[in-house]
Chain A
Amino acid sequence: DQQVKQNSPSLSVQEGRISILNCDYTNSMFDYFLWYKKYPAEGPTFLISISSIKDKNEDGRFTVFLNKSAKHLSLHIVPSQPGDSAVYFCAASGRGGGNKLTFGTGTQLKVEL
């Protein structure tokens, strides 16, 4: 039972364009969402988070949007840079689950020159 889903295993975009990574969740108890970026042989690196009381959070080139009614969130990266090429994981935590994170399976982003 996959409570956090990233349905696109891979995404390719051109440098300078917008990258949009999507994530869906099924557990209505989730109230805090995070995006992590992972390079090979390294641990996940925190990018940006959003609480369920908000619908948007922005940090530099990264913006996360949350649509609670659709149980959907997305990460926008603009402009995309070659160094953004990595695997991106969506994660969620919530009431009743303590602080543990439930992760999606990741989306491999490739930013091409």
Chain B
Amino acid sequence: GAGVSQSPRYKVAKRGQDVALRCDPISGHVSLFWYQQALGQGPEFLTYFQNEAQLDKSGLPSDRFFAERPEGSVSTLKIQRTQQEDSAVYLCASSLAAAGAAGTQYFGPGTRLLVL
């Protein structure tokens, strides 16, 4: 595709439900990132993949958050037992650059999650 795509664009979940957010990166991009953006704030790093390897998950706020990229392309961010504080926009970005090399990250439109 021409850019990074994410689905769903909007998700409303009841507290305690599990949710799965999908990211399709730009074809050929080695690196994939997930960020969380709260209202009025800048995006905050969650986790990073190079191909299928999850190289950094230091930003995941709790063990309820889990991300995977099994074939090195599409990635899924899963949140178990959602809480109200999980309400945010979840952004996915991809980059040609591999680990250790500075590179431009290109962002998808985000998934806006609202937990009631």
Contacts and interface: CB of A to CB of B under 8 A. Distances in A.
Contact of A99 (B59, B91, B99): B99
A100 B42 contact: no
Interface in A18-51: 31-32, 34, 36, 41-46, 49, 51
Interface string B1-43: 0001010000000000000000000000001010100001111
Range of interface residues on chain B?
20 to 34
Contact of A49 (B44, B101, B104, B107): B104
A103 B4 contact: no
A46 B4 CA distance: 13
A21 to B, nearest CB: 13
Q: Which of B42, B59, B100 has the most CB of A within 10 A?
A: B42
A63 interface: no
Interface residues of A, number: 25
A93 interface: yes
Given A51-B102, A93-B102, A105-B40, A98 B107 contact: no
B108 A43 contact: yes
B66 interface: no
Contact of B48 (A36, A42, A51, A100): A100
A99 B55 CA distance: 10
Interface of B: 4, 6, 31, 33, 35, 40-45, 48, 55-56, 59, 91, 93, 95, 97, 99-110, 112
29 contacts: A31-B102, A32-B102, A34-B105, A41-B112, A42-B109, A43-B91, A43-B107, A43-B108, A43-B109, A44-B91, A44-B107, A45-B107, A46-B105, A46-B107, A49-B104, A51-B102, A93-B102, A99-B33, A99-B99, A99-B101, A99-B103, A101-B33, A101-B35, A101-B43, A101-B93, A101-B105, A103-B42, A103-B44, A106-B42
Q: Sort A-B residue pairs by CB-CB distance and give the 6 closest, nearest first.
A: A103-B42, A43-B107, A32-B102, A100-B45, A43-B109, A44-B107
